[in-house]
């Protein structure tokens, strides 16, 4: 069978909607007319608005989610040459580990819970040593890790807790803001995120004013102020990781829509749950598994993921029918060539390795329709019924 044109893309970005695209153009024109492009009015307003959205006191815009993590690590006492270790999950984007390396520490991986696919606190506990400087739980697909357990673990071992919330825009833990569980939560605004820019961008949230001020200085070359009339004196170590005015303007447009978009994602994910449970009832969980929905907080529903040992064949079949899918992520980090020097081997983290062979991300975005979901599930059913 030949390939069909794409009928259901994996993701539609907000810019694909004409009203939103026109608003982008208006905001870009306004920034261009103002003539200030670094750390100006748009960044300041976005930081206030994003902090309010997250239920945090402060937000600091930076150049990417990777740099948000690296800055949080540096301001938590991690430094090059210190022989420090940071524990995180192997089932995440490589940028989580790259941030650890950039901050000067050694990534240490711990296995995931086989059901939720989130970092397992017991596995982390077994990896703790006197060299552990921080724990980075990743709120994979928007579902929150056991933040109360990780907070207690970090406190007991006198290390930092830094949340990788790159997929968790709008998630909470037992109705409480992520900022209430650690000094730092780091966000990415990569274009595919629930809250995306038109390029790379990121932010940190915190409830501590001193930390927010330290992050603002660190992102801007260690200076106390910048821009027109600002000082060029670097008072401490820093980097160049500033959120651009143009990106902040775009993020402000999207942030105004984010609650509605997240509600739509929630409704679509529930529709997937219902249709798959009904249509594939005889195959659950033997041949297809739904990820359990955790009851300890709201999820952003960043991705809708199912598991099947026939993942690759299923993806081929769906693409033949014009349906795009994704895999997040196809190889756990300890098996990436970039981290070979850490000394891990295949079999070290069996839960993460098995998940990486089975997970499949189905189309999900606020602009997906229920008939499209019905088509996806119908084609899945046809695939499995023929096997």
pLDDT (tens, 9 = 90+) of the chain, 387 residues, equals 566 799 999 999 999 999 999 999 999 999 999 999 999 999 999 999 999 999 999 999 999 999 999 999 999 999 999 999 999 999 999 999 999 999 999 999 999 999 999 999 999 999 999 999 999 999 999 999 999 999 999 999 999 999 999 999 999 999 999 999 999 999 999 999 999 999 999 999 999 999 999 999 999 999 986 555 567 899 999 999 999 999 999 999 999 999 999 999 999 999 999 999 999 999 899 999 999 987 788 999 999 999 999 999 999 999 999 999 999 999 999 999 999 999 999 999 999 999 999 999 999 999 999 999 999 999 999 999 886
Same domain, 226 and 373: no
> Of the candidates 193, 218, 252, which is a domain's last residue?
252
> Is 56 inside a domain boundary?
yes
Cα 104 vs. chain centroid, distance in angstroms? 22
Q: How many domains does the chain have?
A: 2
> Is 374 inside a domain boundary?
yes
Cα torsion angle, 164, 166, 167, 168, sign = positive
Same domain, 275 and 376: yes
CA nearest neighbour of 65 among 92, 25, 86: 92
> Is 4 inside a domain boundary?
no
Burial pattern 306-327, b for ≥16 Cβ within 10 A else e, equals: bbbebbeebbebbeebebbbbb
Q: What is the pTM of this model?
A: 0.97
Separation of alpha carbons 368 and 8, rounded Å: 8
State the CATH number of the domain containing residue 212. 3.40.640.10
Same domain, 227 and 172: yes
State the CATH number of the domain containing residue 289. 3.90.1150.10
pLDDT of residue 1: 52
Same domain, 75 and 41: yes
Same domain, 205 and 323: no
Same domain, 343 and 197: no
Same domain, 102 and 238: yes
Separation of alpha carbons 172 and 18, rounded Å: 31
> Of the candidates 196, 227, 252, which is a domain's last residue?
252
Same domain, 226 and 265: no
pLDDT of residue 229: 52
Separation of alpha carbons 187 and 217, rounded Å: 18
CA nearest neighbour of 51 among 264, 203, 245, 157: 203
Same domain, 303 and 219: no
pLDDT of residue 2: 61
Domain span including residue 212: 14-252
> Is 2 inside a domain boundary?
no
Same domain, 186 and 60: yes
pLDDT of residue 230: 63
């Amino acid at each position: 069978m030949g390939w069909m044109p794409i009928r259901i893309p994996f993701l539609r970005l907000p810019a694909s909607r004409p009203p939103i695209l026109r608003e982008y153009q208006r905001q870009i024109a306004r920034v261009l007319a103002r003539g200030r492009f670094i750390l100006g009015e748009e960044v300041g307003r976005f930081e206030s608005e994003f902090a309010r959205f997250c239920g945090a006191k402060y937000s600091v815009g930076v150049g990417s989610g990777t740099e948000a993590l690296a800055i949080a690590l540096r301001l938590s006492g991690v430094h090059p040459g210190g022989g420090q270790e940071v524990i995180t999950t192997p089932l995440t984007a490589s940028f989580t580990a790259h941030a650890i390396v950039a901050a000067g520490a050694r990534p240490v991986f711990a296995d995931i819970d086989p059901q939720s696919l989130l970092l397992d606190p017991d596995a982390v506990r077994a990896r703790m040593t006197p060299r552990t400087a921080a724990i980075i739980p990743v709120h994979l697909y928007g579902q929150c890790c056991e933040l109360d357990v990780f907070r207690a673990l970090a406190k007991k071992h006198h290390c930092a807790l830094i949340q990788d919330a790159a997929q968790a825009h709008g998630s909470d833990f037992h109705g409480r803001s992520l900022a209430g569980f650690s000094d730092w939560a780091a966000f990415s605004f990569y274009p595919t995120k629930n809250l995306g820019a038109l390029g790379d961008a990121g932010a940190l949230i915190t409830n501590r004013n001193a930390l927010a001020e330290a992050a603002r200085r660190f992102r801007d070359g260690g200076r106390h102020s910048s821009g027109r009339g600002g000082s060029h004196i670097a008072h401490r170590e820093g980097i160049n990781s500033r959120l651009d005015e143009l990106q902040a303007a775009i993020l402000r447009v999207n942030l105004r829509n984010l609650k509605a978009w997240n509600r739509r994602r929630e409704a679509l994910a529930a529709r997937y749950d219902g249709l798959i449970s009904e249509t594939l009832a005889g195959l659950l969980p033997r041949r297809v598994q739904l990820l359990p929905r955790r009851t300890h907080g709201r999820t952003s529903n960043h991705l809708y993921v199912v598991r099947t040992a026939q993942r690759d064949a299923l993806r081929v079949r769906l693409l033949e029918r014009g349906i795009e899918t994704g895999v997040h992520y196809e190889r756990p980090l300890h098996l990436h060539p970039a981290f070979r020097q850490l000394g891990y081997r295949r079999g070290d983290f069996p839960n993460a390795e098995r998940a990486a062979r089975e997970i499949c991300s189905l189309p999900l975005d606020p602009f997906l329709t229920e008939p499209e979901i019905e088509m996806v599930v119908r084609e899945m059913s046809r695939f499995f019924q023929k096997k």
